[in-house]
Amino acid sequence: MVTVTYQELYRTFLDVLKRRGFSDERAEVCARLFTETTLDGVFSHGVNRFPRFIRTIDAGLVDVHAEPELVGRFGVLERWDGRRGPGNLNARAAMNRAIEIAREHTIGCVALANTNHWMRGGTYGYQAAEAGLAAICWTNTMPNLPPWGGREPRLGNNPLVVAVPGPEGPVVLDMALSQFSYGALESHRLRGEQLPVAGGYTEDGELTTDPAAIEQSGRPIPAGFWKGSGLSLLLDLLAALLSGGKATHEIPDDPERESGVSQVFVAFDLAKLYPPEEMARIVEDVLRFTREGAPATKGGRVYYPGERTKERRERNSKEGIPVDEAIWESIRRL
């Protein structure tokens, strides 16, 4: 591990992006999103993901100049074409537009077709909540998750994000619909650890906490078994129907070629309903009640979604960001 500062990380990303032809302004936003994700401790979609993001540019899957284009306006729903632009810039623009519509009509929705991986989904939840709005957004993905009852990956893990502003910062849920991502399986394996709960099947169809066995079988479980399986299917249907874009079965079945995904961004302008201090009090009361119950294990406690992100952000801001040395070196050579 090497420890780098926010500024070092940001500058390094920025230089690489500019060398890939991003305009100054777009390079700055894109670099900031990758840096903030890393600062928040979400390495899998921050610094560790950056080399693959650059590979998708070099492979021509991501067009660094493409900006989303309005395709149609249907009341408070707008359809946009992502034109295969950078997924994080596209998603950010889409949530911005959903927020604008919501400021006018309380709810705004942008359905985005033909875009690319949005990296950390939570980013767009924070974006809305920091602006004082609640939001729900989700993306489909390539087939990477067997449905309940099946052994082949026929669903995406279709991450879902739900966010509301909170008294000490946003409450943001950012969850893929597999119990563990492939990234989480890999990092447990590399640390020589078992998963805390069963995460998939062995080749023989037994539930297991062994990450390597699940990587080998290609059979992670949906979060909540049949429940996550059903939710993943419905989110894919809604993303494809609302955006007019691709469903999971139409997305290339290869992590290096995944492109053209569909996303939905819904924003709710809570400022139409409350003064901010009243909203903060309502959220605070819910969080307090949830957290003040007895812990499951001695010395344990209940965290709300986003709480540990906030802690990691504060720690990394103070102490610097721990980055894998080999990945850091590879990025400096990009």
Q: In this structure, are residues 172 and 163 in contact, taking their beta carbons and an 8 Å threshold?
A: yes
> What's the closest the beta carbon of residue 54 comes to a copy of itself, in angstroms?
30
Shortest separation between residue 60's beta carbon and a copy of itself, angstroms: 26
Q: Which of 52, 25, 50, 23 shows the shortest CA–CA distance to 36?
A: 50
Q: How far is the CB of 198 from a copy of itself (least distance, A)?
A: 8
Q: 4 or 164, CB closer to a copy of itself?
A: 164
Other Cβ atoms within 10 Å of 281 Cβ, number: 13
Q: Which among 25, 33, 27, 26 is positioned nearest to 6, based on CA atoms? A: 33
Bridge-partner residues for 111, per DSSP? 79, 264
Q: What angle do CA 256, 139, 112 make, to 5 degrees?
A: 100
Which is the catalytic residue, given 45, 117, 188, 249?
A: 45
Q: Is 105 a catalytic residue?
A: no
Q: How far is the CB of 160 from a copy of itself (least distance, A)?
A: 8
Decide whether 25 or 292 has the Cβ nearer to a copy of itself.
Answer: 292
C-alpha dist (Å) from residue 41 to 10, 149, 158, 165, 278? 15, 34, 21, 20, 31
Residue (233 or 331) nearer to a copy of itself, CB: 233
Min CB(159)–a copy of itself separation in Å: 11
CB closer to a copy of itself, 60 vs 196: 196
DSSP bridge partners of 164: 171
Spatial contact of 160 and 177, defined as CB atoms under 8 Å apart: yes
Non-local (6+) Cβ contacts of 289 within 8 A are: none
Find, among 21, 316, 302, the residue nearest to 171 by Cα: 302
Is the CB of 39 or the CB of 109 nearer to a copy of itself? 109
Active-site annotation, residues? 45
